[in-house]
Structure 1
Amino acid sequence: MGRLNNGPNGGFSGKAGSFIGYNWKGGSYIRGLPRIKKNRQPTPGQLAARAKFAYLNMWLKKMPDIMAITFRSYSPKMTGMMASYSCNAGNVLGDYPDFQINFPAFMISHGELSGADNPTVSCDDDCTLTYNWEWLSGHQKASSKDACLLLAIIPETGSIYASFESTRYANTARLKIAKEQVGKVAEVYLSFVSFDRLKCSKSQYLGQVVLT
């Protein structure tokens, strides 16, 4: 039995016949119940789609707290994790069951803030990534107080290192990587987040760096 919300002209919640009413992020929605067919085997296409989703989710679920901030403005109807999946669904390469992330196209943030000018990254001998960029104060969608999001993905070990360090005005920041990653290749990203954590820039891929 469903329940009417705000009278006969409002949405309803609960189950009514073959429909389910529910509320999500301030909106009222309705969907039909799925038709259940017993003993139905998934098609090869369905298996591939599920495996692709699981592979991408394996990477995204390593950084849910970051995605909650960096994809906050992507869509008001989505959580950060949902938005990060929507943004990166096309960045999985390969055929089932051999998938890989297209790291140059992979996004760790999305928004309207300005990115970095002439960003570079290098690795010191103590396995620390040093980021450098230029701060040009003429950008309207940027503030000297914007925080830097430094992020490195190590595909070989499945490790992710991230830190909100320094500010846009500093023109430099460092990300410490564990010593056991020496010799591995890091996929490196830079993004900016507003002081109130409500706005982000689109992430910038800075390339691959061999950790030393």
Structure 2
Amino acid sequence: MGRLNNGPNGGFSGKAGSYIGYNWKGGSYIRGLPRITKDRQPTPGQEAARAKFAYLNGWLKKIKALVAITFRSYSPKMTGLMASYSCNAKNVLGEFHDFQLNFPAFMISHGDLSGADNPSVKCKGGYTLTYNWEWLSGHQKASSIDNCLLLAIIPETGSFYVSFEGTRIKGTAKLPIRKAELGKVAEVYLAFVSFDRLKCSKSQYLGQVVVGGLMPEVGSRKSEV
């Protein structure tokens, strides 16, 4: 049995016949119940789409709490996890059973804050990634107290390292990596988040760094949305 909200002219919640009414993000919606067909096999296209979703979701769910902040402004009708999936679905390469994440295009945040000027990252010995950038005043969509969002992915282990360390005006920040990752390649990203956590910049991909190694310092390449 469904329940009318706000009288006969309002939306309803619950089940009514073959329909379900529900509220989401301040709006009222209605959808039909799925038709259940026993022994129905998914098409090859459906199987591939489900596998692609599962693959990308396996990466994104590890940073679910982070994308709840960094994709807040992507769409008012989506959760952060849904928005990050929508933004990154095209960044899954390969075929069924052989998917790969396109790390240079992968986005960890989305918004209209200004990004970093001339960013770079290095790891010369030790287990700490050192980020550097220039602070150029005059950006209309930037504040000196914006927090730095540092993120590194170790594809070999599937590990994520995240830190909100430092502020934009400092021009430098550090991200510690566990010693167990020695010699492994890290995919490195930088973004900025406003002090109140309500606004973000688009993430910038800074390239690959060998943890504890002496790979030459790399510069930034902005990820495409």
TM-score by length of 2: 0.93
What amino acid sits opposite 1:142 in the alignment? A
Query: How many angstroms does 1:189 deviate by?
Result: 0.1
Query: How many angstroms does 1:124 deviate by?
Result: 2.6
What stretches of structure 1 move > 4 A for 4+ residues in a row? none
The CA distance in 2 between the partners of 1:108 and 1:159, in whole Å, is 14
Q: Secondary structure of the residue that 1:165 maps to in structure 2?
A: coil
Is 1:2 the counterpart of 2:5? The answer is no
Q: Secondary structure of the residue that 1:112 maps to in structure 2?
A: coil
Q: Secondary structure of the residue that 2:165 maps to in structure 1?
A: strand
Structure 1: which 5+ residue stretches go unaligned? none
- After superposition, where does 1:90-105 map in structure 2 within 5 Å? 90-105=90-105
Alignment match, 1:74: 74
- After superposition, where does 1:160-171 map in structure 2 within 5 Å? 160-171=160-171
The CA distance in 2 between the partners of 1:87 and 1:136, in whole Å, is 29
Alignment match, 1:209: 209
**Which deviations, in whole Å up to 9, do the C-alpha atoms of 1:71-118 show, x marking residues without a partner?**
111111111111111111111000001001000100000001000000
What amino acid sits opposite 2:178 in the alignment? A
What amino acid sits opposite 2:24 in the alignment? W
Is 1:126 the counterpart of 2:126? The answer is yes
> How much is the aligned-residue C-alpha RMSD, in angstroms?
0.7
Query: How many angstroms does 1:17 deviate by?
Result: 1.4
Query: How many angstroms does 1:46 deviate by?
Result: 1.1
What amino acid sits opposite 1:151 in the alignment? L
Query: How many angstroms does 1:196 deviate by?
Result: 0.2
TM-score by length of 1: 0.99
**Which deviations, in whole Å up to 9, do the C-alpha atoms of 1:132-166 show, x marking residues without a partner?**
00111110000000000000000011011010000
Alignment match, 2:89: 89
What amino acid sits opposite 1:85 in the alignment? Y
The CA distance in 2 between the partners of 1:47 and 1:119, in whole Å, is 41
**Percent identity over the alignment?**
81
Alignment match, 1:196: 196
Query: How many angstroms does 1:50 deviate by?
Result: 0.7
What amino acid sits opposite 1:82 in the alignment? M
Q: Secondary structure of the residue that 2:62 maps to in structure 1?
A: coil
Alignment match, 2:42: 42
Alignment match, 1:19: 19
